[in-house]
Structures are given as C-alpha cells and as structure tokens.
Structure 1
Amino acid sequence: MPMPDPRIDAYIARQADFAQPILNELRARVHAACADVEEAIKWGAPAFLYRGKLIAGMAGFKQHAAFNLWLGKQVVEANAALGQGMGQYGRLTSPADLPAKRETTRHVHAAMALVEAGGAARAVSAPKPPPSLPDDLAAAMATNAASQRTWDGFPPGKRREYAEWITEAKRDETRARRVAQSVEWLAEGKSRNWKYAKC
C-alpha cells in the first residue's frame, strides 16, 4: 500500500477551518475505494493516481472546496445541481455537501476501470528536465548574491518561468531589460509571476 504524501497533510493543514474536514474525508474515501492509490501534488493541489495515471484531485478555496474526477463526465452521471463550482461535487462548504460514501466509491471504481481498460484516463506526464540558466542571467546574478540565493532556492518550475521569459525575447534590448528585471525581482525573493500570486 503506497505511503501518504506528507505534502498533502501540509496542504490540508493550510486550508480554512471549514475545508479541512472536507478534504480529509475526500482523501479517506479515495483511499478506502482504492488501496493502491498514490498521492501527489499536481497544479499545486492534492491529486490521486492509480497505476501512474491521474484519477482525481481536490482543492481548497477561500469559501469552498472541490473534488474533481479526471474524465469526470465518464464516471459521474450528469447532475445540474452539482454544476456550481469546480469538480463533479460542486461547491463543498461542509462534509454534509458530499454525496454518500458509496457514491464516491462507485466514482473512484469507475475511474480505476477506465485506467484498467487501456488507459482512458490521462497519463501524468514525466517531469520536465530542469531549465538551463541563460548565460546573461547567470552573469547578472554573479554580481547580486541575493538574486542567486533566490534562484538556487526556487523549484524547477519557477526557474523555468524566468528562463523562458528571457529566452523568448526577440530583441536584444528586450532581453537585456528582462534580465535586469529578473535580477531585481529575484533579489527581492519574487517569482516571475509574483503579481498574480494572490489572485
């Protein structure tokens, strides 16, 4: 039986008080329905995989939580009442909003059957290789220790955002401006898309 992912424990602990019991219950239901489920973090939220393929995910928001079955239209009957919010279970504001446990079990089993039938569920892509550090950014960071520390502490995805932003510049002047801006933001500990982090 796969081990629980401690990142999911941390994710749930960061959520609003109303969301924590919902997310804990959903997690328990998925594990009860699928003994071989693997946990992961995808798109910044808890995800559940079966035989390496994504079958479900869940997330907490400011005023609701959501549960999303991958290829949900194939495993959950259409229900207009559930169409309010992300996922097949709609906006979840308390555990009472969840369907009966047997329904969740049936949905997880249907998602597993899709995987067993030949991989109808989408495969989780292999991780991208770490981005290469553009030479001009490396040179600029060599004179700014704070920016280099931030870069070194960033995960590959955040590094990739900066690297791609710089290498996609079409003109030398644009690239130079982007390098200078990157060093400034990195020195302040900011990710490339820091302006949108609280949206």
Structure 2
Amino acid sequence: MEYNERWAEELSLLSSVIAKAPLEKAIKWGAEVYTYNGKNVVSYGGFRNFFALWFFNGVFLQDKYGVLIAASEGKTKSLRQWRFTSLAEVDEKSILEYISEAIEVEKKGLKIKPEKFQAMAPSPLLAGALKADGNLQAAFSKLSPGKQKEYILYLDEPKQENTKVSRLEKIIPMILKGAGLHDKYKK
C-alpha cells in the first residue's frame, strides 16, 4: 500500500500505541485489525493526505475530544475515523482512552441494527436497457432483491452520464451470468 509507505513512521507509532491495549492482532482485508473476543475494535492505515485510526463501532464512542468523523458521510453507519497529518498530533493517552472505551462498547455488545431492506426502482438508464433486452430483463428479475439493489446503486452513484454508461456496459455481462456485483468478495 503506497500510502502506508508514505506514513511509515507515523503508522509505526500508531501500531506501538495500539499494542499497549488488551487486544488481539489479526490480518483482515490485508490490514492489521485489533480485536477483542473476536470482535473488530480498531485498525489504522495511511491515505493520500492523512493517516488514521478507525474504530469499527466508533458511532457509540463519546468522542470527548471531538476528533472522530464518519469516513463517507451518508454511507458510513458505525465506523468512525480519527485522522492525523503529523506525528505531533498523535497523543498516546487520548488514543488509549478511546480504545478502552471501544473495548467497553464491544463488551456491551452495542451494534447498529441493519436497516430494513427497501426495494428500489431501476434508474432510467438501467430501465431502458432492461426494456430493450428481454434476456437482460429475465436475468435481472432472477437476481435476488439485494443483488438488484447493488446494481441499481452502482449505476446511480456517478454524476457523469458517460461513467454511468460505462458502468452499465460493465455490468450487463455480469447480470446475464446471474452474478451479483460484489460476489467475488463474498464467501
């Protein structure tokens, strides 16, 4: 990960701070994730303009220093990030306070309840493609509602029409095969 190399010294410091907490280290999604009784608590990594800690159930933390943010506003439900841009911003005592609180959250079993599934209507672009191709329509209707929703959201996300069209071209063969958009990531 190129950004982890950029922030090597900073990430090494975060790792040494986290190691002082009563957590187990595991590798998940190609990154170090620290767990408590098998539950994900905290991880860290480097990005283009910052390096960060993230708390998997950070939404339940009090955030007494006002440092936590949702990584993707409107999408991120539970995870919260603490972003840094220099070594000087890393305060071991404060980080360990947050980690201790995050462990307590896991002990209490606090979780955000999943939202009830809501069926979605295809965007005009997808609806037009489905109407124009009976095989595509039949294949799409055979997909589970969740897989249909993945495709609909994927096509609705971009702002530029040419991006939407290129995404549609990419997913048509996947739909015809009966595959979900994210099947390769699922076991």
Q: TM-score under structure 2 normalisation?
A: 0.49
Q: TM-score under structure 1 normalisation?
A: 0.46
